Amino acid sequence: MDFIIEFFKYWNYAGAGKIIRIFWYFIFFEFGRYIVLEFWVLFVYWLSRKKRAEDWEVAKQALYNEMPLISLIAPGKNEGKNIYKLVKSLNEQTYQNVEIIIVDDGSDDETPMIGRNLEKNGLIDLFIRNDMRGGKASAANLAWRYSRGKFLLHLDADCSFDRTAVENIIIPFYLDPEIGGVGGNVKVRNGDASLCARLQSIEYLKSISVGRIVTSYLGIYRIISGAFGAFRMDALKKVGVWDIGPGLDGDITVKLRKSGYKIHFEPTAICLTAVPTKFKVLWKQRLRWSRSLVRFRLRKHLDVFLPDKNWRWSTFLGFVENIFYNFVLDIKWYIYIIDMMVNFSSWIWFLIPMNLALYMVAGFMQQLSLSLWSERSEDERVLWWYVPLMVFYVAFFLRFCRTLAYFKEIFFKASYRDPWNPQKSSYQALKNGY
């Protein structure tokens, strides 16, 4: 009780100047970006809802007038247990002029048997098996090679889709002919499996469902998720399809941007995916994802900072935002902690609870915006209980994971040794600077 009284006395005495001095990191970077900017963009987005709905109807009519063939491709390894569920979900789609192509990248489970059976029974159009694993990019490229659609949808085999997902992810191409790729709204299907999955449910809602509405509106949307992304076939051909990963979904988005195409996020095209249910598995996944920031943003596509014929503000700013918030601020956070330890060490027991309180309040504000936008807000109500834990999940788990990944990639190029890709491909990618 005495501590609480002391706590309030301290912050009352400190005043605004000292609060800004101590919480500059939160106030200027986090609150400004994730609360002020996001709420403003969402408000503007909401105001334009009528106009967007009218445009959407026109585009939908154009889609159904043309009825183009859409290629749905699902490259993967050891996805046997997920394939049937995926195909069932695709067969339920409202848009039916599709071809389904599944590529098995050297699986050692029952995938070949299941895939061939589905092909034989006409549930999918083509099943291709590579006896030797070539990596995700080569599997996707093989599927692309045999695709005949005007648009191509890249899907992960462990995903399932709302009935209107295919239709809704294609309509944006008819809203703006300059759009080369559209990202779908990926949500967590197995959120109730564990605490780890619950936290990821909130994270996906924040960073994908709402976060990408904002970045897409601002024109700096940078990753078309590999789990559910749509591409114009001619655009894919122009950019030379997928290069070796990991992080090939972000890579191809940048390639499309550099070639002059617009990238769009469609929140109504909903895909559900299974996320890791254990922190250990999640740690490995995030190490891989985070390494791609260094590999692709800081190495391969560093030329977006150089003015050339394809230079665009939106691409430039998208990169800056990405690098600043994920890389620079990640390092800055450690500086901030040192600053606090050195200059405010005697008040550290007041600083920590205040810091946590600020992040929790911000977390609840974000959760409010999520529930206003989500079409499944009823189902997601349970997530409110987990919002306080997100502070620890984001501030410590994800941050430490990111830092380790950046360190290993910068100094050891660890992504080239990731078993996610076969060694033969990684070796060539390293040797030739991919």
Partner 1 sequence: MLSINKINKQALIEYEDFLFMYVEEEEAFDSEKIYYVDAIIINSTQTRLFEKVLRITRTHYDAEIYLKPIFCVQYEGLPLQVMERCDGLTDVTQYQKIARTTREIKTNIEKLFLQQKFPSNEFGVLYKAMQYLYTRNHDLMPFVDRHARLSYTYPFVSLQLEDEEQDKILDILKQGVRDGFLREEQVLDKIHVCDACHSAHHNIRETCLHCNGIDLKVQDLIHHFQCAYIGPETDFMQEYTDDLVCPKCQKILRHIGVDYDKPSHIFNCNTCNEHFQNPVFTFNCIDCGKVSDIRHLQEHLIKRISLAAKGKQLVLSGLPKKNYKSKSSSKEVSGVYELSVFKNILKQEKARTAFNPGRTFFGKVTIVDVQLNSISWKEKMILRDELAGELKSYLKDYDMVTAVSIGEFYFLKLECNQGKLEKISELIVFNLEALVKSNVKDSQVVVSVDTQAVFHDQKIEL
> Closer CB to partner 1, residue 181 or residue 245?
245
> Closer CB to partner 1, residue 332 or residue 413?
413
Burial (0-12, 13-18, 19+ Cβ within 10 Å), 56: middle
| Nearest-approach distance from CB 146 to partner 1, in angstroms | 5
| Nearest-approach distance from CB 119 to partner 1, in angstroms | 7
Name the site residues for partner 1 (rule: CB under 8 A).
106, 116, 119-120, 126-135, 137-139, 141-142, 145-146, 240-244, 424-425, 427-429, 431-432, 434
Residue 217 near residue 112 (C-beta atoms within 8 A)? no
What three-state secondary structure class fits 283?
helix
Strands (E), 3-113: 70-76, 98-105
Strands (E), 173-227: 179-188
* d(C-alpha 104, C-alpha 149), whole Å: 20
> Closer CB to partner 1, residue 101 or residue 383?
101
List C-alpha distances in Å: 352 to 26, 28, 29, 132, 232: 13, 18, 18, 53, 49
Say how far residue 90 (Cα) sits from the centre of its chain. Answer: 22
| Nearest-approach distance from CB 75 to partner 1, in angstroms | 10
> Closer CB to partner 1, residue 304 or residue 429?
429
List C-alpha distances in Å: 74 to 15, 101, 228, 233, 285: 57, 6, 10, 16, 19
| Nearest-approach distance from CB 131 to partner 1, in angstroms | 6
> Closer CB to partner 1, residue 135 or residue 172?
135
> Closer CB to partner 1, residue 112 or residue 388?
112
Dihedral (CA of 209, 159, 292, 282) sign: positive
| Nearest-approach distance from CB 301 to partner 1, in angstroms | 16
> Closer CB to partner 1, residue 153 or residue 429?
429
For 64, other C-beta atoms within 10 Å of its C-beta total 13
| Nearest-approach distance from CB 127 to partner 1, in angstroms | 7
Q: Which two tokens stand for residue 230?
A: 């749509």
> Closer CB to partner 1, residue 14 or residue 123?
123
| Nearest-approach distance from CB 102 to partner 1, in angstroms | 11
> Closer CB to partner 1, residue 101 or residue 199?
101
> Closer CB to partner 1, residue 31 or residue 242?
242
Give backbone dihedrals phi and psi of 228, rounded to 5 degrees, phi first.
Answer: -160, 95
Residue 107 near residue 135 (C-beta atoms within 8 A)? no
| Angle formed by the axes of helices 38-47 and 211-218, nearest 10° | 70
| Nearest-approach distance from CB 268 to partner 1, in angstroms | 32
Residue 245 near residue 228 (C-beta atoms within 8 A)? no
| Nearest-approach distance from CB 235 to partner 1, in angstroms | 15
For residue 265, give the DSSP letter: E
| Nearest-approach distance from CB 242 to partner 1, in angstroms | 6
Burial (0-12, 13-18, 19+ Cβ within 10 Å), 378: exposed
